[in-house]
Each structure stands twice: as C-alpha cells, then as structure tokens.
Amino acid sequence: MTKTLVDFEQLLSEAVTIHGHLCAGQVLGVRMSMLGLQEISIFDPKGSDRKNVIVFVEMDRCATDAVQSVTGCSLGHRTMKFIDYGKMAATFLNLKTSKAVRIFAKDESRTLAKNYFPNIENKYTAQLEAYKIMSDEELFNIIQVQVRLRPEDMPGIPSRRVVCESCKEQVQDGRERNRDGLILCRPCAEGGYYDIVF
C-alpha cells in the first residue's frame, strides 16, 4: 500500500524521529512539505513519485530535516538543493510537469500563534501547538515559480568531472570556475570557508 500525505501526525512523528526532538520548526517543515507536494501534485514522494520531485530549501534549521523526512528528498540523492538564504522557505518542483511553488512562512504567524494559546507562557511552546492547528493561509504564502534547473543539477551520475589546476582536486557537475584561462574549483577561485593550517 502506498503512503499518502494525509496523516499529519504520522509524518510529524517520522520527522521527529529523524530530527531528534519535537519543535515548532518540525511542525512548520511538515506542514510546508505537505502543502508544497499537494500543490505540485506529488502524492507518493517516497514511492511512485520519488523520481519526480526536487525541493530547494532556503534554511539550515530544524524545518529542513522535516522537509527531507516528508519528501524523501536528500542532498545525497541530489533531489534536495540547499540555497543558503536564511529564510523559512522551500520550493517544490514536479520534474514531470515542471510545476513549481515556493512556500514561505508568514512572519506574522509567530505573533498570531500566541492568540491560539494565550495561557501558555512559553512562546515557543505556544507556537509549536498553534502551528499544528493554524490554517495553511495563516502560516504560509504560496507563489507559483519557474525553476531554472540546469542538466548538471539533475540527479544521477555526474555529468562531468574536471581537475582544479591549483589544488588538483576533482570538481563535478559544472561547479568549476574559469579564471584567467585556468580551470579552478570555487575555493581556489573565490576563497573558501576554510583556511589551510601549515
């Protein structure tokens, strides 16, 4: 029997198991994923639709684990793309139809959550409980988008490999840079997040 996206509590439980604890970000991530998949007509993301969906997450927070749990998308399978915008947002793309939606959390939903549970003093606990029952319209904005996906961004084997002429490390899938006639990896061309200690 294929699993459908109708059981919020089951999906939340699975996300919490993967993430390690229950928090408002888990609730938002599950709700965002359920809505995004529904909007692009993906109903069995871990089964028959698993090769038809890519998700772009814009945050490296708790919600991302929930998005991965619900959608089945992952960095390792190249079906989840991390775009470091620091926003509580994700874009869901149906590869078969090219339909895509970007869903982002409404800032005012945090304040509105307190109205649902005014007797809960801890604002994070109030948010967690409110996010479970608030409407999609209260929690999220949805916009139709067109995703620019290059062939080298697709899942599957690497489209090509080159060797950086400076550090001699391999660079896959068109991530190299051409600087003054040299083929370089991004850290050699632009600087990286690390410094080599000698």
Locate the domains of the chain by residue range. 8-151, 157-190
Q: Note the pLDDT tens digit of each residue in 141-180.
A: 999 999 999 888 888 888 889 999 999 999 998 899 999 9
| CA distance linking residue 190 with residue 103, whole number of Å | 31
Q: Is 180 helix (H, G, I), strand (E, B) or coil?
A: coil
The gap between the terminal CA atoms of the chain, to the nearest Å, is 57
Does 8-151 carry CATH code 3.40.50.150?
no
In the chain, what percentage of residues exceed pLDDT 70?
A: 97
Q: Which residue has the higher pLDDT, 94 or 174?
A: 94
Residue 87 CB neighbour total at 10 angstroms: 13
Q: Could you check whether 8-151 and 157-190 share the same CATH topology?
A: no
Per-residue pLDDT at 95 exceeds 50: yes
∠ CA(133), CA(135), CA(137), 5° rounding? Answer: 155
Which CATH number applies to 157-190?
3.30.60
Using the Cα atoms of residue 62, residue 128, residue 5 and residue 14 in order, give the sign of their dihedral. Answer: positive
Identify the pLDDT of residue 159: 85
Q: What number of CA atoms fall less than 13 Å from residue 189's CA on the CB side?
A: 16
Per-residue pLDDT at 44 exceeds 80: yes
Residue-averaged pLDDT of the chain: 92
Q: Is the pTM of this model over 0.85?
A: yes
Q: Note the pLDDT tens digit of each residue in 100-151.
A: 999 999 999 988 988 999 999 998 999 999 999 999 999 999 999 999 998 8
Q: Dihedral of the CA atoms 160, 165, 167, 171 (nearest 10)?
A: -10
Per-residue pLDDT at 10 exceeds 70: yes
